[in-house]
Amino acid sequence: MMEVRTTCAYCGVGCGIRATVTGERTVKIAGDPDHPANRGRLCSKGTHLGETVGLEGRLLAPMIGNRRAGWDKALDLVAKRFKETIARHGPNSVAFYVSGQLLTEDYYVANKLMKGFIGSANIDTNSRLCMSSAVAGHMRTFGEDVVPATYDDLDAADLIVLVGSNTAWCHPIVYQRIRARCEEGAKLVVIDPRRTETAEEADLHLPIRPGSDVALMTGLLQYCREAGVVDEDYLAAHVAVPQDFWDQLAEGNDLWSVARTCDVPAADLRHFFDLFAATPRTITLFSQGINQATAGTDQVNAMTNLHLATGRIGKPGAAPFSITGQPNAMGGREVGGLASTLAAHRDFAPENRASVQRFWAAPTMAEKPGLKAVDLFRAIGEGRIKALWVMATNPAVSMPDANAVRAALAACPFVVVSDVIEKTDTGAFAHVRLPAAAWGEKDGTVTNSDRTISRQRALFALPGEAMPDWWIVKEVARRMGWKTAFAYDRPADIWREHCRLSTYENNGARRFALPGAAQGGNAAYDAMLPFRWGGDRPFADGRFSTEDGRARLVPVAQKPLPGPLAKWPLTLNTGRYRDQWHSMTRTGLAPKLARHREEPLVEVHPADGARLGLADGGLARVETPQGESIYRVAFSDGQRPGELFVPIHWTDRTASGGRTGLLPRPLVDPLSGQPGFKRTPAAIAPVATQWRGFLLLAAELAERPACLWATRVAVPAGVLWELAGDGGLQRIEALLPRGERIEAQDPARGTRRIAVIAGGRLAGALFVTASGELPPRDWLIAQLAAPAVAPTLLAGRAPGVQADRGPIVCVCFDVGLKAIVAAIRDQHLADVAAIGAAIGAGTNCGSCRPALARILTEENSHAA
C-alpha cells in the first residue's frame, strides 16, 4: 500500500493529508502530523474524503453537445471557435470563468493564455465571490495583497476576534486551534448577526445589525484613540495618515451612537472595546461575513486601520487575518486569476504590463483589468461576450441572481465547461464539455490562507479520458497558434516558470517571491515540503509594498442602513453547513456527511415564525426580487428577529425549489466587485401541501422527482428523496424501479406505502402521508443493503419497539442526539471530554464539539 502526502480538497485552511491508497479507487485518509496547518487533525469533510473518490457521476470523455468526441476533435473545436470569435469581435468578446478549486499550475496557464496571448483580462474566478474584498482591502492599505498573519499567530494571541466567520463550521481546524488557545486563557469575541456554534462558545458575542461592521470598527478606533492606545510612534514611522483622518473619525463614532447603529447593548460594546484596548496581542480574523458585502472593502479597511493605528501588525499574535473559503483561492491570487490583477501580485500599471510581456514574450497583453464576475455574466447576457470557458465551477448555482446567469449562459453562442462531474447545472448550457481530473488525480500546488504552499499529489491514475486542467488549457493554446509559449510537459515546468515570474524584475517591492523554488528540478518538485512565502510576518520590519514603503490608513465611513421595505420586510443571509462543500458535487456523495443537515433549512427567529404563521418543521417560500425558493423551516433563537438564513449548497439537481443562488441581488462592492450575499431584502410565507413523503431508491434518478418540493440525501447503498406536493402521485410512483411491489393504503389517514423488491432485496420504497406522520428513515435505509427482505418493510421499522436516534451529531461515530442526551443525564457527564470518553462522540475530527458543548449547556439549563 502506498502512502501519499497531499492536501485536503476543501477549505482554505489547507490541511495536509496522509493518504494510503488501498485499491483501485479506494483510499484511507489521515491527517498529516507534519503539516503546519493541521498537525495531524482533519475535520469531518477532510476525514470523509475517501468516500468521495468513486467514479459515480463523473464526466469521463469529451462531449460535443450530447455526443462523445475524441480529445482532438473537442480541443480543435474550442480553439477554432475562440479564434474565430476573437478575429471577428476582438479579444474582449471571449472570457474564462475559473475557480479556487484549480491548482496554481492550472490557474497560471489559463491566466497566461487570456492576459498575455488572447490579450484580454476577461478571466475571473469564483474566488471573486469569496474573498476579493480582502484582496482589494489589502492592496489599498498595504500596497499588495499580503495576508500579514499565520496560524501560528493564533497560538500567540491573547484576544481573538472573529468577524463574520462561523469558524467552527467553515474552518474547523483553525477553530480547534483557537479553542486550544482559549483553553490557555485567550479571550474569544465573535461579531456575527447570528448566534452560531462559534458564537455560542465565545466569551462575548456581539450580534450586530448586518452591515454595521464599519460603524463598529471605526467606533472602536475612536475609543482606542481616546483611551491612548493608538501607537503614535508606529504611525509616524510606518503609516501614511490622511490629513483629516482623525477629525472625520471623531464624528458620530461615540460608543452610544455606535451601539445604536449596531443594535447591540452599549455595555457589551464597551466590554469589547475595553478588551481590545487592553490586549496588544489581538488577532482579528475575518471571512465571508465581511467580504460578501457591498461595502466589503471598507469593512476590511476598517479592521486594517485598527491594527495599523494600534501598531498591532507584524508582531507575534497581532494582525488582521483574512481566511479564505476555497482550497486555492490564495494560489489564484498569486498567479493573477482575478480579472483585476495581472500576475505575480502585479497590477496593470504600464511598467508591470511591459515587464510581464517581456517575461512571457507575449504577443498581445491585456491593456486593462477585465470584467469581474457579476459584470462578466452581465456582459454575456448582453451579447458582448460571445465565447465563455467555465473551469471547475458552477456559476448557474453560485452566482447571485442565478436565474439571470442561466439566461446569459443559454444565450451565449459558445460555452465550454471543463468539470469532473457529468451533470451540473452549468454543464447543461455547454456546447462542449471537457473531462477534468479530480482531487486524487491532480498534481500541483495550492496555497492556503496563511501563505503556506503545499503539494497536492495524485493518488489514482486518470480515469477514462479525464485530463488535468493545465493540460487542457495548454492544448487549446497550442491549437490557437502559441506552441512554444505553452510547451509544458508536466506541472513542474509551469511551477518553475511561475516562480521565475515572481522574482522577475522584482527588486523587493513585491513580497510575493519564490526565489529558491525556481531552481529545483522535477525531483525537487515531487518531493516539495510545505513552505510559507513571505516569512512568518511579512511586515515585521514596518515596510509595506507601497512606493514610499508606508501602509495607508484608509478613511471609511458607515453607509446608511435602510430599514425594512414594505414588500420585503426581512433580510436574507446565506452561508455554509458544517459538513457540506459548495454545490455538493463531492460531499454530496458521502452519506455520513449528509447526516449533519440532511436538507436545506430556512432559519427563522421564533417570534417572526409565529407572527408570519410559519410552523417549525413546515415548509415556507422565501421570496426576493430575484426569485423564490422553498425550504423547511427551523425556528432558531440564534437568528436576529427580522433575519433569515439559508444554506448555499443545494442545486437544481439536488432540490426542487431549494436553490439559494437565485435569491441574492447582483449588487457588488464598488472596489472589489464582490457580491453582497449577506443582506438581501426578502419575504417569507408558509407553504401548504396536500402530502409529504419520501422516496428511497437503490439507484440514482436521472432527473429529480417532479413535485413542489424535493431534496436529495445520499444514504448508504442508495439515495433518499424527501418530498412534498399536491395532487396525484402517479409521476412519483413511476420513479420506482421495476420489481415485485408490495403496497398498503389507508385512505382515512391519507397514507400510501409501496416497497419494491428486486433480486431478493429492497430496490425502492415510497412512503406518503397526508397527516404528516412518517416513520424514521434509518431502518428502511439499512434495508437497501440487507441480505434478505424484512417482513415489516411497509411498517418502516423492525418488529418490536425501535429507538429513535434523533439527528446525527457526530458523523464520525454515527452518534445521534438522543444517545448524547441520555449519556449526559444517566452518566452525569460534565464536559465535552467526558462525553467523548463515554460514547466516543467528538473524539475523531472534533467538528461536532461545539454542538456537544451546546447540548451540554441546554441539558444543564434544563437540570438547573
Q: Where does this chain bind ligand SF4 (CB under 6 A)?
A: 8, 10-11, 13-15, 38, 42-43, 45-46, 171-173
Residue 90: is it exposed, middle or buried by C-beta count within 10 angstroms (0-12/13-18/19+)? Answer: exposed
Q: Closest approach of Cβ 172 to ligand SF4, in Å?
A: 5
Residue 799: is it exposed, middle or buried by C-beta count within 10 angstroms (0-12/13-18/19+)? Answer: exposed
Q: Closest approach of Cβ 176 to ligand SF4, in Å?
A: 9
By beta-carbon proximity to ligand SF4, the closer residue of 46 and 332 is 46
By beta-carbon proximity to ligand SF4, the closer residue of 168 and 809 is 168
3-state secondary structure of 40: coil
Q: Closest approach of Cβ 372 to ligand SF4, in Å?
A: 26
By beta-carbon proximity to ligand SF4, the closer residue of 439 and 631 is 439
Quick one: which of 86, 636, 97 has its CA closest to 373? 97
Quick one: which of 6, 14, 321 has its CA closest to 155? 321
Half-sphere exposure (Cβ direction) of 844: Cα atoms closer than 13 Å: 18
By beta-carbon proximity to ligand SF4, the closer residue of 112 and 592 is 592
User: Is the CB of residue 87 less than 8 Å from the CB of residue 380?
Assistant: no
Contacts of 811 (CB under 8 A, 6+ apart): 44, 48, 579, 592, 593, 595, 596, 847, 848
By beta-carbon proximity to ligand SF4, the closer residue of 38 and 305 is 38
Q: Closest approach of Cβ 11 to ligand SF4, in Å?
A: 3
By beta-carbon proximity to ligand SF4, the closer residue of 13 and 139 is 13
- Chain centroid to CA 107: 18
Q: Phi and psi of 512, rounded to 5°?
A: -70, 110
* Amino acid letter for position 655: A
Q: Closest approach of Cβ 45 to ligand SF4, in Å?
A: 4
Helices (H), 504-566: 522-526
By beta-carbon proximity to ligand SF4, the closer residue of 41 and 140 is 41
By beta-carbon proximity to ligand SF4, the closer residue of 8 and 683 is 8
Q: Closest approach of Cβ 165 to ligand SF4, in Å?
A: 13
By beta-carbon proximity to ligand SF4, the closer residue of 270 and 457 is 457
Helices (H), 10-166: 44-47, 71-89, 104-112, 132-142, 151-156
Residue 462 is inside which H or E element, if any?
A: none
By beta-carbon proximity to ligand SF4, the closer residue of 11 and 221 is 11
By beta-carbon proximity to ligand SF4, the closer residue of 80 and 576 is 576
Q: Closest approach of Cβ 174 to ligand SF4, in Å?
A: 7
Q: Closest approach of Cβ 50 to ligand SF4, in Å?
A: 12
By beta-carbon proximity to ligand SF4, the closer residue of 112 and 171 is 171
By beta-carbon proximity to ligand SF4, the closer residue of 110 and 173 is 173
By beta-carbon proximity to ligand SF4, the closer residue of 513 and 594 is 594
By beta-carbon proximity to ligand SF4, the closer residue of 177 and 653 is 177
Q: Closest approach of Cβ 136 to ligand SF4, in Å?
A: 24
Q: Closest approach of Cβ 17 to ligand SF4, in Å?
A: 8
Q: Closest approach of Cβ 42 to ligand SF4, in Å?
A: 4
By beta-carbon proximity to ligand SF4, the closer residue of 50 and 314 is 50
User: Is the CB of residue 753 less than 8 Å from the CB of residue 794?
Assistant: yes
Task: Indicate the length of the chain as a whole number.
Answer: 864
* Amino acid letter for position 830: A
Residue 769 is inside which H or E element, if any?
A: strand 761-769
Classify strands 319-322 and 67-68 as parallel, antiparallel or unpaired.
unpaired
Q: Closest approach of Cβ 636 to ligand SF4, in Å?
A: 24
Instruction: Give dist(CA 578, CA 333) in Å, integer.
Output: 26
The closest residue (CB) to ligand SF4 is 46
Q: In what order do the strands lie in the sheet with 655-656?
A: 655-656, 709-715, 718-725, 691-697, 761-769, 751-758, 740-746
Q: Closest approach of Cβ 431 to ligand SF4, in Å?
A: 34
Quick one: which of 209, 222, 207 has its CA closest to 302? 222
Quick one: which of 346, 308, 374, 372 has its CA closest to 507? 346
Contacts of 554 (CB under 8 A, 6+ apart): 140, 141, 298, 301, 304, 305
Q: Closest approach of Cβ 816 to ligand SF4, in Å?
A: 23
**What are the cell numbers at 122?**
476577461
Q: What is the DSSP letter of 66?
A: T
Q: Closest approach of Cβ 720 to ligand SF4, in Å?
A: 24
CB count within 10 Å of CB 198 equals 25
Instruction: Give dist(CA 773, CA 767) in Å, integer.
Output: 10
Q: Closest approach of Cβ 8 to ligand SF4, in Å?
A: 3
CA dihedral angle for residue 758, residue 803, residue 860, residue 269, rounded to 10 degrees: 20
By beta-carbon proximity to ligand SF4, the closer residue of 490 and 576 is 576
In the block, cell 455554509 appears at 576
Residue 316 is inside which H or E element, if any?
A: none
Instruction: Give dist(CA 640, CA 210) in Å, integer.
Output: 10
By beta-carbon proximity to ligand SF4, the closer residue of 124 and 450 is 450
Q: What is the 3-state secondary structure (H, E, C) of 771-804?
A: CCCCCCCHHHHHHCCCCCCCCCHHHCCCCCCCCC
Q: Tell whether the torsion through CA atoms of 532, 537, 541 and 542 is positive or negative.
A: positive
Q: Closest approach of Cβ 175 to ligand SF4, in Å?
A: 8
Q: Closest approach of Cβ 48 to ligand SF4, in Å?
A: 10
Crossing angle between the packed helical segments 213-226 and 255-262, to the nearest 10 degrees: 160
* Burial track 731-741 (b if 16+ CB lie within 10 A, e otherwise): ebeebbeebee
